[in-house]
Amino acid sequence: MKVFMNGKIVKKEDAKISVFDHGLLYGDGVFEGIRAYNCLVFKLKEHIDRLFESAHTIMLSVPYSKKYIMDATIRTLQANRLRNAYIRLLVTRGEGDLGLDIRKCQGNAKLIIITDKIALYPRRLYEQGLKIITVPTIRNLPEALNPQIKSLNYLNNILAKIEAINAGYEEAIMLDSLGYVAECTGDNIFIVKNKKLYTPPQCMGTLRGITRDTILEIARQKDISTNEHVITRHEMYNSDECFLTGTAAEIVPVVNIDGRKIGRGKPGPVTKMLLEEFRKVTKKDGVKYKL
Ligand X SMILES: *Cc1c(COP(=O)(O)O)cnc(C)c1O
For ligand X, the binding residues (CB under 6 A) are 33, 150, 157, 183, 186-188, 207, 209-212, 245-247
Rounded to an integer, what distance in angstroms lies between the CA atom of residue 144 and that of residue 155?
Answer: 14
Minimum distance, C-beta of residue 16 to ligand X, in the bound complex (Å): 25
Rounded to an integer, what distance in angstroms lies between the CA atom of residue 51 and that of residue 10?
Answer: 23
- Give whichever of 125 and 251 is closer to ligand X, judged by the CB atom: 251
Minimum distance, C-beta of residue 261 to ligand X, in the bound complex (Å): 25
Query: Of 2, 110, 131, 150, which one is the catalytic site residue?
Result: 150
Minimum distance, C-beta of residue 151 to ligand X, in the bound complex (Å): 9
Rounded to an integer, what distance in angstroms lies between the CA atom of residue 242 and that of residue 129?
Answer: 9
DSSP state at residue 102: G
Q: Is 67 a catalytic residue?
A: no
- Give whichever of 210 and 254 is closer to ligand X, judged by the CB atom: 210
Minimum distance, C-beta of residue 183 to ligand X, in the bound complex (Å): 5
Q: From the CB of residue 10, how many other CB atoms can be counted at a distance below 10 Å?
A: 14
Three-state DSSP class for residue 218: helix
Sign of the dihedral through C-alpha 143, 233, 278, 194: negative
- Residue-wise DSSP of 124-164: HHHHH-EEEEE-SSPPPPTTTS-TTS-BS--HHHHHHHHHH
- Give whichever of 22 and 161 is closer to ligand X, judged by the CB atom: 161
Sign of the dihedral through C-alpha 161, 166, 167, 170: positive
- Give whichever of 105 and 189 is closer to ligand X, judged by the CB atom: 189
Please state whether beta strands 2-5 and 110-116 pair in parallel, antiparallel, or not at all (unpaired): antiparallel
Q: Please enumerate in sequence order all residues whose Cβ is within 8 A of that of 85, keeping only pairs 6 or more positions apart, or say none.
A: 35, 36, 77, 115, 116, 117
Minimum distance, C-beta of residue 19 to ligand X, in the bound complex (Å): 26
Rounded to an integer, what distance in angstroms lies between the CA atom of residue 33 and that of residue 208?
Answer: 13
- Give whichever of 79 and 213 is closer to ligand X, judged by the CB atom: 213
> Could you give the residue numbers annotated as active site?
150
